[in-house]
Amino acid sequence: MNDEQSSEVDRYASTTGQVMTEAGWLDVHFETCRPEYAAMLRSVGFQRGWHVLDAGCGSGSFLPLMAELVGPGGRIAALDLAPDNVATVERRVAGWGLAAPVEARVGSVFALPYADDTFDGVWCAATTQYLTDAELGTALSEFRRVVRPRGLVAIKDLDGTSPGLVPGPPLMIPHLFEAMAASGNDQFAGCLRVPSLAQWLREARLGDVWQRSTVVERAAPLRDVEREYIGGGLAYFATIALQRALPAADRAAWLRLADGAGRDCLFDDANFVWREGHVVAVGIVP
């Protein structure tokens, strides 16, 4: 992380310092997008009896469905860089009574603490956006190493070219992502890289690669959890947007969104629509 990044608002950060990786934030994010996220996980091809790694498990929101997919004969390893997130996962797993056992541990996707060919598949959600290009290459090499031949690697992340809201300038959020990436912010650059994930999997020498985009769209009237997720994201974006040289119409919109009353007015507008896109890319280990 460069000096500029570290000086920006650390919103909803876990103990790693990474923005938007704290368990409470991850929970409202998942609940807002639950139907679409569940469909994306179901689509990748995990099978009953498999041993699966959730790499970058966060607060563990995907684990119940993952356990359902692999069933009583399967096993799950949950790994996260943030010790506080791993503690949350361990506490939740102890009370959930999942269909498959889960072992959680602290670790890095750059040096996975598992032997070669340990897993039948890897799921990595909302993690690659934090990685530089070189780090993503390292992580994909590690995923390939720990997955057996003919097992699969599945990556899901936010497409930074996709977010938008109505009413508002149509490209105000992609403009912000571009400005932040140009300033050296790895997370925003990582989100802009997401539409090319399939290419990255092929370059990591995975086979039978496919990729699919899913749109998450929420319109007024919003549920409380949706207001919390969208409002929290817009508040963070507004804070950093007002430090950037953006088009005048974008800046005026961000100025309104920097104020809580302005966000409430937007959410209460009968025409309000929030939209963001997510990509899942899957490849098979040769």
How much is the average pLDDT of 263-283?
Answer: 97
Residue 203: which CATH number?
3.40.50.150
Residue numbers of the domain that contains 124: 3-284
Q: How confident is the model at residue 10 (pLDDT cuts 50, 70, 90)?
A: low
Contact 194, 128 (CB under 8 A): yes
* Closest residue by Cα to residue 78 from 88, 152, 137, 68: 88
Q: What percent of the chain has pLDDT over 90?
A: 93
10 Å CB burial of residue 211 (0-12, 13-18, 19+) is: middle
Structure tokens at 172: 């105000």
* Closest residue by Cα to residue 59 from 34, 24, 31: 24
**How many domains is the chain built from?**
1
pLDDT for position 5: 37
Residue 8: pLDDT above 50?
no
10 Å CB burial of residue 200 (0-12, 13-18, 19+) is: buried
pLDDT for position 13: 86
- The H-assigned helical ranges of 168-259 are 172-182, 186-193, 197-203, 224-241, 248-257
pTM, to two decimals: 0.94
Residue 2: pLDDT above 50?
no
Q: What percent of the chain has pLDDT over 70?
A: 97
pLDDT for position 158: 98
pLDDT tens-place string over residues 14-66: 888 888 899 999 999 999 999 999 999 999 999 999 999 999 999 999 999 99
How much is the average pLDDT of 81-109?
Answer: 97
